[in-house]
Amino acid sequence: MDTLQSIIIGIVEGLTEFLPISSTGHMIITEKALGVTETDFVKAFTVAIQLGAILAVVVLYAKKFFNFSRWQFYVKLMAAVIPALVLGFLFSKKIDAFLESSLTVAISMLAGGVILLFIDNVFKTHTIDSEEKVSYPKAVIIGIWQCLALIPGVSRSAASIIGGMQQKLTRSAAAEFSFFLAVPTMLAATGYKLLKYYKESGGFKSEEIKLLAIGNIVAFVVAMLAIKLFIGFLKKYGFRIWGIYRIILGVILLVLIWKGVIS
């Protein structure tokens, strides 16, 4: 991986992290399209770069994140993140194997696309319009939904937003809770992945540190622009258009895999 490739992947991550189309799936596709060699560092980069985009949430919602008088907010996030932490730790090797599979991404894109076509009609009753009204059990259930995103191609954003809607949150409230939940989730995932790589490789090379820094900075800047656009778009149009996009992309990927263009 070189500097230009890390910038391109950072742009892709920033644009897709908060859309229900799977940022990890898009990064895997982008890496293969750019001819990036699949190494242990690239796998770590694919996870760690998401932290840059996630930190955009902290900046945009700084008043909420740093209002320490509302301690329940932090407890809810910690409760919701536990399922992903447990399953991510138990199945880390399997997840690494999935990160190499274009076929997994293609199938997940198709399946997720079909679900998004109908999800707005499935969960029509919305009685919770803010994070303050989310109970602890509801937070945990949303966290369980988020675990679906351990499979590349299954969007973390989509899984947790759908989980929120299933728990009676409005689309915008579910999206915001999904953003908040992403912070501890990706902090833990990035820390674990980088520590594991550090131990197994004997440390980071200066070039690797540079690529991680560049990718995260680019993802952060692009995500700052993407978050507000997504909230407005979701309120107005719902999920159907993203379902169509995922189905089209999934079909294209399957054809490219069948033709041998993508391994």
Query: 222 falls in which pLDDT band (50, 70, 90)?
Result: very high
Helical residues (DSSP H) of 36-101, grouped into ranges: 40-48, 50-60, 62-65, 71-90, 92-98
Q: What is the pLDDT of residue 248?
A: 93
Interval 128-186: pLDDT, tens: 888 888 999 999 999 999 998 888 888 888 899 899 999 999 888 898 899 899 899 88
CB 73 within 8 A of CB 131: yes
Q: What is the pLDDT of residue 99?
A: 66
Query: 25 falls in which pLDDT band (50, 70, 90)?
Result: confident
The burial of 52, by beta-carbon neighbours within 10 Å (0-12 exposed, 13-18 middle, 19 or more buried), is given as buried
Range 207-223 average pLDDT:
94
The burial of 79, by beta-carbon neighbours within 10 Å (0-12 exposed, 13-18 middle, 19 or more buried), is given as middle
